[in-house]
Structure 1
Amino acid sequence: MIAETSLRYIVFLALIAAVGGFLFGYDTAVISGTIGQVSTQYALDALAQGWYVGCALLGSILGVSIAGRLADTVGRKNVMILSALLFAVSSLGCALAGSFFSLITYRIIGGAGIGMVSIASPMYISEVAPSGIRGSLVSLYQLAITIGFLAAYLVNYQLLNWVASGVFRTSGPWSLFFYEEVWRGMLGMELLPSLFFLAILMLIPESPRWLVIRKRLPEAARVFGKLYPDGRIATQKISEVQEQAAKISETNLGLLKNPKILRPVLYGMGIAVLGQFMGVNAVLYYGPGIFEQSGLSDGDALFYQVMVGLVNVVTTILALLIIDRVGRKKLVYFGVSGMIISLFLISFYFQFGDSLGWSSLVLLVLFLVYIFSTAISISAVIFVLLSEMYPNKIRGLAMSMAGFSLWVGTFLVGQLTPWFLEKLGPSGTFLFFALMCFPYLYIIWRKIPETAGRSLEDIESYWLGDKN
């Protein structure tokens, strides 16, 4: 089937949609380099610091709660366009914020963009991708997130170097953004990729499956015709989507009363929220602070965070290459096992490392093993599974519900991690993260089918009981 597609065009569409992941990653990770500066400037206590980190996550919850319904109503492409606009407004507003209140407001707006793009981009890619490489193409979105993480770490690192060297000390208005209050420059640099994303979205069509569901068949035929040059295959695809849609007569909300539909929705919500309590976002948000607690200086801690981001990118590339051949579930089994071992060892390091004479290099190695294990498993798999495991007719709403759970979990982790680190210490915090891996493994093992190599319509038939 892959040979019968216009592969270059499909990859082109996937790459454009994946740029939303870059903005997701940058907006999420850039905060790690600004926490100390903003906390000092506005005299934030632990709870206020958690609010500064978590406010964008609150925005994500708001964004994701409406993104699915919007995507089902106005289309996947239009939701991505809206998210690009929100990112642009947020980055500019944060750079120019005149108070802590306005900074929080613009961070929430950017968070709404994250929530929307986390639904629309992977959904769009899954609906244009052929089944044989759908996992790899949707994983481009996760790869873009990790590149966004790394870009944020590198921008933060470089701007701090500029501050140390005084490059912009006497450069007029630029001095505020790149010397006096460099956190403004860190947050404001997101404006450039936001505008780029907005421009290139004009080059792609709407999702053909959404067009079929909305009964816009001539447009759907044109898009499917570009994806599958053989007109017979394009016609067959339209028929398959129509046949599956005809089996479900309820409205979106009515579908949730159907146990066959509700099951995958609940499973998706379960793995989405549990994945956030396995530690990855705590490392991404609070990594420099955690490294500093091991005795590193600010500069070394940020450099270690750059190393974490680099391993995240390289491992995601590996996951992208093998996810369709190895399968989603085997990657989870392998990676989460590595997460459990590394998290237990990180907890052990903070409890006994000093007395054993372990250097901070040991901690870096353990963190890199953890990030490798995370990137090759739950981070690579989650958006692939959520974008493909729901029926076409309810995909937007179901992904919103799963995404809502994901962002609620992320918000709680962002709010609670400073408290965990203060009350439980790093050792107890990472022990908690290790224990949370076990229920995640159980759901993947017992409740989620392997979806690699299956068409979206086949997966839908599985949940409806039509296919084994």
Structure 2
Amino acid sequence: MTSKKYLYWITFVAINGGFLFGLNIAGISGANAMIKSEFGLTDSALGTVAALLTIGALVGALFSGRFADLYGRKKVMVASAVLYTLSALVCAFTTNIFFLDAGRVLSGIAVGITSVIAPMYISEISPAKSRGTMVSLNQFAITIGILLAYVFDYFLIGLGNDSWRYMLGIPAVFGLIFLILLFMSFPESPRWLLAKGKKDNALLVLLKVGGETSVKEDLPAIEFSLNQEKDKERVSLTELFKGKTGRVVLIATVLAAAQQITGVNAVLIYAPDIFQAAGSMKEGAMFQSVILGLINFLMTIVALWLIDSQGRKTLLLWGAAGMAVSLGYLTYEFSKPSQNAFSVLIALLTYVSFFAASLAPVMWVVISEIYPSRIRGVAMSFSTAICWLCCFLTIQFAPVIRAELGTTWMFAVFTGFCVLTFLFVIKWIPETKGKSLEQIESEFISSGV
């Protein structure tokens, strides 16, 4: 197997975690009404069932970076595959709300782990010239998972009141496949191996991934970076908030939060309900959700094509602007006594298109790049945990806002956050395309980080 093919193979294995991420987060969208009826839930309690995944994701994200630094990226990914499989089985066979909630939390922990470790791992094995595209493949896999979740829900919904069990149980099959793939010629990160003094193993991985060129160019840069950090104490959480390091953490964390507070997961999870509120029938609403997932998938391909040529910042600016305009129109549409279902569909598709081509993949790329390697594990965990906290708040309160204040106000709030994100990107987000991780770190160090 050539080095390029080997790089694609191990990236494919790593992004299976992203695929399961998407499958789990969107799979409940078609099951909401049936779960509400099955357990007699209020709107708030239903929001909790959906949002518990994000609480688990927050926990998984918060601790996975530290565990990945201690035990390696591969072992932590293996743990996530086990959790994906186990949690899906718990959700599928539960007979009470407690175990359903527990299963959602477990699946969330797995999602949180892979949301940190997959982009971190891919960024550490990829060459600088294509790293943006390679890391974005994880988001591409997430969109495939979301799309297939909608497709599965669409075809399973006709199986009766228990079809929600199949919807939530499907990830068990793919979790088992992910676990098997991780044991099939999947190496540890060469940067982690070097940090642990396993130079011979790291050389073998670099040789397989990038050939002699990678060994000659990447090895000295990685060793130089690690030697600079050797005499420093182990990073603590409090260090993330001090001095120029704190500034970098703040920038990355605000960007991570922006990915969620602009509303995408509320839209994806409650899409069938939004379409029904606009006048669509139940079956039509489910089919429109499939279209939404398809557009999300296709526009991520656009991001893969543009991210290393146009740059991270350009995509973020266009994305935030397009999302703000789309949500602004939806705010107007739902302020009317009745809505045009077709116009709502087009506006939501436009919103998801801009998100999928910008904030969705670019956020993960940027936060995997701008952190110095010594704090990368802990810092990515922190930023990703905040991302999931914002996701929880969005999913938890979106149905409450819709029920108490109306859909108009929900879209108005998300519009405001899109405008703030646009202004934030202009002022604070650096451009990192085409630079090695060590070069990015060196530039931050020279500026005082």
Matches within 5 A, 1:213-252: 213-230=195-212, 233-248=214-229, 249-252=232-235
Query: Would you say the 8 A contact 1:86–1:113 is kept in 2?
Result: yes
1:52 to 36, 39, 49: 49
Hey, what's the Cα distance between the residues in 2 that align with 1:281 and 1:92? 24
- 1:270 aligned partner: 254
List runs of 5+ in structure 2 lacking aligned partners: none
Structure 2 partner of 1:150? 147
Matched, 1:291 2:288: no
**In the alignment, is residue 397 of structure 1 matched against residue 378 of structure 2?**
yes
Residue 259 of structure 2 aligns with an amino acid whose one-letter code is G
Q: Take 1:466 and 1:239, find their aligned partners in 2: how far apart are those partners?
A: 22
Q: 1:461, 1:467 within 8 Å by CA — same for their partners in 2?
A: no
Partner in structure 2 of residue 338 of structure 1: 322
Please give the alpha-carbon distance, in whole angstroms, between the structure 1 residues aligned to 2:190 and 2:246.
25
Aligned ranges 1:103-252 → 2 under 5 Å: 103-161=100-158, 163=159, 179-202=160-183, 203-230=185-212, 233-248=214-229, 249-252=232-235
Which residue in the other structure is 1:64 paired with? 61
CA offsets, 1:208-230, max 9 Å, x none? 01111222111111111112321
| Aligned equivalent of 2:336, options 348, 352, 363 | 352
Judged with a 3 Å threshold, the aligned counterparts in structure 2 of structure 1 residues 345 and 205 are, in CA distance, closer, same or farther, namely same
Q: Residues 295-329 of structure 1, C-alpha deviation per residue, up to 9 Å, x if partnerless?
A: 11111111111000000000001111111001000
Contact 1:304 1:364 in 2 (8 A): yes
Q: Is the 8 A contact 1:33 1:183 kept in 2?
A: yes
Write the letter of the residue equivalent to 1:405. I
Aligned counterparts of 1:256 and 1:48: Cα–Cα separation in 2: 35
Q: Which amino acid aligns with 2:394?
A: V
- The one-letter code of the counterpart of 1:453 is G
Normalising by the residue count of structure 2, what TM-score does the alignment of the two structures yield?
0.96
Question: Post-superposition shift, 1:257?
Answer: 6.0
Q: Which amino acid aligns with 1:221?
A: L
8 A contact 1:87–1:191 mirrored in 2: yes
d(CA) in 1 for partners of 2:205 and 2:447? 28
Distance 1:93 1:270 in 2: 34
Matches of 1:444 and 1:82, distance apart in 2: 35
Does residue 346 of structure 2 align to residue 362 of structure 1? no
Q: What do the CA deviations read for 1:384-409 (whole angstroms, capped 9, x no partner)?
A: 11111111121111100000100000
- Identity, % of aligned pairs? 36
Separation (CA, whole Å) in 1 of partners of 2:302 and 2:337:
32
CA displacement, residues 217-264 of structure 1 (integer Å, 9 cap, x when unaligned): 11111111112321x641442221121223332321175365232221
Q: Which amino acid aligns with 1:49?
A: L
Instruction: Give 1:461's aligned residue.
Output: 442
Cα distance in 2 for partners of 1:432, 1:395 equals 32
Query: Structure 2 vs 1, CA of residues 294 and 263 (structure 1 numbering), >3 Å: closer, same or farther?
Result: same
Change (3 A) 1:304 1:241: same
Alignment partner for residue 265 of structure 2, among 281, 301, 311? 281
94, 99, 102: which one pairs with 2:96? 99
Please tell me whether the aligned partners of residues 225 and 234 of structure 1 are also in contact (alpha carbons under 8 angstroms): yes
